[in-house]
Amino acid sequence: MPSLRELQQSIQAYVLARGPGAQTEVLASPSVSAETRLEIYANAYRVRLQEALAGDFPALWAMVGAERFAHLAAAYTDAYPSGHFSIRYFGQHLHAFLASSEDFRNEPWVSELAAFEWRLGEAFDAAHAPPLTAESLAQIAPAAWANIRLALHPSVRRLDLGWNVTEIWQAADRHETPGTPLPYPHPLAWLIWRQELKTFFRSLERKEAWALDAVLNGTRFSELCEGLCRWLPEHEVAQRAAGFLRRWINDRLVTAIDAGPG
Amino acid sequence: MFPISEKRFPALGFGLGLRKEHYEAVLAGQPALGWFEIVSENYMVAGGKPLDYLERIRADYPLVMHGVSLSIGGTDPLDVGYLKQLKTLADRIEPAWISDHLCWTGVKPVNLHDLMPLPYTAEALHHVAGRVRQVQEYLGRRILLENVSSYLDYRASEMPEWEFLRALAEESDCLLLLDINNVYVSACNHAFDPYTYIEHLPLTRVQQFHLAGHRDYGAYRIDTHDEPIIDPVWDLYGRAITLFGKVSTMIERDDNIPPFEDLLAELAQAERIATQTLPPHDSSEFVKKSTALGI
């Protein structure tokens, strides 16, 4: 008799890829063969993971259609079997998988839509953090500004998109006729975040995207201003940086200001 | 490890599985229910809507946590990260009790996200019992293990499922979540008598009942949780209530989810059966925890 572990390995090999050995470990019932009994589990495995992906990528499902989605879900399930205890994280590699998939080589928007939907999901259940108000800025001493670092809301996600996938997503979200995927003339920067329980996204002009990425990387305010000099004359930089900051405060993106020298 | 005089937690009456489709109905209607059961993993997230709704509903109702990822029958070491998150959630919502399934869910590095049945062997029994004790030690409380619906059985099995479950409960000092529908589904799939099954379970260890619907595919049945409960399952529930008394009862519905009122009406059927079955004193005490279910 196989050990418990050997038995589980053999059943799992069947479920994942109809591997050999499991049939002899399973009894037939009066009406169902051992193979059919194993097939129940093998089929359920694929259906369950496909349903999880369809739930996490509803716009992608709507755009590619049920049949093509089932095909891509099966290929993804083989390429990236779930390892996390929660099925919540199963789809985390889908956009990378689609980006390298031969089947979608001529449709780069498919991978971008997956990336966008996944990040929306991440923002949806990210940690809560109370946002700072404009009054908090007023309390910073003028001399301290150079050294401050900002902490942004845990839901903040950034991505650059070459296609109009946010419009496609919106049409799908409203159950409207799917839009036509169109490339932008240049990649566009996007910000996703959550205010209280509601998720938002908006595009960013290049300077704001650079500044926000710098903040996410822990850059001090002085370095942020220096960096903006590549686009702006020096006398405009501080005002523009302060303008970004006001907007981020209004968007409730900023959750802490670290004024320490470190 | 735990006091032996009364192993079970106090009964909560009649409840339902909490599903996101019903959050608003629950908050707006404040239905007269004894409790809700949550799927633990759905709330093992950092924040946002799931936890917000959960805390608002917890303010008005007792909750119990029902997990699908413990893999108590698995042969990899217990997932300490999972246990830690389970405990964090338990500390946050203070559930009346915590349950999972008698199953394994994968061999590393893969999680099949399914409740895979175990072979009922002495090896598996001692293996699982040791892990249950570890989990109970970590959580500082007895856990409940649920019998799963199964669609295969193993050549290696040495005893019937009920004997395994009974021995496991005794050896590990855990409680049982008896899923009446799963007993019925497995009885059909493996040609055993569902009444024999429940009659062999230890009386003092059954903490909770699950009820649910399933699909009949002719040669086998699948535990789909997407249909109303069928009459033979209600009959088996009646027998279970006779045997085990006022055990907390709830309905699981995970797909084809109907309006909340429909589930309340289905739950009222469970309450009617309990009222008709239990002695008058037990019945009134048990049912009053969740009165006004619409009957």
Chain A residues near residue B156 by CB distance under 8 angstroms: 1-2, 7, 25
Q: Do A34 and B112 touch (CB under 8 A)?
A: no
Residue B294 pLDDT grade (very low, low, confident, very high; cuts 50, 70, 90): very low
Tell me the three-class secondary structure of chain B, residue by residue. CCCCCCCCCCCCCEEEECCHHHHHHHHHHCCCCCEEEEEHHHHCCCCCHHHHHHHHHHCCCCEEEECCCCCCCCCCCCCHHHHHHHHHHHHHHCCCCEEEECCECCCCCCCCCCCECCCCCHHHHHHHHHHHHHHHHHHCCCCEEECCCCCCEECCCCCCHHHHHHHHHHHHCCEEEEEHHHHHHHHHHHCCCHHHHHHCCCCCCEEEEEECCCEECCCCEECCCCCCCCHHHHHHHHHHHHHHCCCEEEECCCCCCCCHHHHHHHHHHHHHHHHHHCCHHHHHHHHHHHCCCCC
pLDDT greater than 60 at residue B288:
no
CA atoms within 13 A on the CB side of B267: 30
User: Would residue B272 count as lying in a domain?
Assistant: yes
User: Would residue B6 count as lying in a domain?
Assistant: no
User: Would residue B170 count as lying in a domain?
Assistant: yes
Chain B residues near residue A11 by CB distance under 8 angstroms: 116
Residue of A nearest to B218 (CA): A31
ipTM greater than 0.85, yes or no? yes
Mean pLDDT of chain B: 94
CB atoms within 10 A of CB A58: 15
Q: Do A37 and B152 touch (CB under 8 A)?
A: yes
Which residue from A8, A32, A36 is facing B75, i.e. has the nearest CB? A8
Q: Do B112 and A15 touch (CB under 8 A)?
A: yes
Q: Do A40 and B220 touch (CB under 8 A)?
A: yes
User: Would residue B141 count as lying in a domain?
Assistant: yes
Of A73-87, A222-236, B57-71, the one with minimum mean pLDDT is A222-236
The verdict on B116 touching A (C-beta cutoff 8 Å) is: yes
CATH code, B149: 3.20.20.150
What pLDDT, on the 0 to 100 scale, is given for residue A1?
86
With 0.90 as the threshold, say if the pTM is over it.
yes
User: Would residue B255 count as lying in a domain?
Assistant: yes
pLDDT (tens digit per residue) in A30-39: 899 999 999 9
pLDDT (tens digit per residue) in B105-162: 999 999 999 999 999 999 999 999 999 999 999 999 999 999 999 999 999 999 999 9
Q: Do A30 and B191 touch (CB under 8 A)?
A: yes
Q: How far apart are CA A24 and CA A28, in angstroms?
A: 10
User: Would residue B161 count as lying in a domain?
Assistant: yes
Q: Do A26 and B75 touch (CB under 8 A)?
A: no
Q: Mean of the pLDDT values across residues B248-258?
A: 96
Residue of B nearest to A80 (CA): B110
What pLDDT, on the 0 to 100 scale, is given for residue B2?
58
What pLDDT, on the 0 to 100 scale, is given for residue B238?
98
- Mark which residues 233-292 of B lie under 8 Å from A by CB: none
- Mark which residues 158-187 of B lie under 8 Å from A by CB: none
Q: Do B155 and A127 touch (CB under 8 A)?
A: no
What pLDDT, on the 0 to 100 scale, is given for residue A226?
94
In chain A, % of residues over pLDDT 90 = 90
Beta-bridged to residue B240, according to DSSP, are none
- Residues spanned by the domain of B174: 14-290
Q: Number of residue pairs across A and B with CB atoms under 8 Å?
A: 132
- Total number of domains in chain B: 1
Chain A residues near residue B110 by CB distance under 8 angstroms: 12, 16, 81-83
User: Would residue B127 count as lying in a domain?
Assistant: yes
Find the farthest-apart pair of alpha carbons in chain A and give their distance in angstroms, rounded. 85
pLDDT greater than 50 at residue B295:
no
Residue B202 identity: P
User: Would residue B9 count as lying in a domain?
Assistant: no
The verdict on B111 touching A (C-beta cutoff 8 Å) is: yes
pLDDT (tens digit per residue) in A95-119: 999 999 999 999 999 999 999 999 9
Residue of B nearest to A79 (CA): B110
What pLDDT, on the 0 to 100 scale, is given for residue A259?
82
pLDDT (tens digit per residue) in B45-61: 999 999 999 999 999 99
DSSP per-residue string spanning A85-147: SSGGGGGGGHHHHHHT-GGGTT-HHHHHHHHHHHHHHHHHTSPP-PPP-HHHHHTS-GGGGGG
The verdict on B50 touching A (C-beta cutoff 8 Å) is: yes
Q: Do B222 and A40 touch (CB under 8 A)?
A: yes
pLDDT (tens digit per residue) in B207-240: 999 999 999 999 999 999 999 999 999 999 999 9
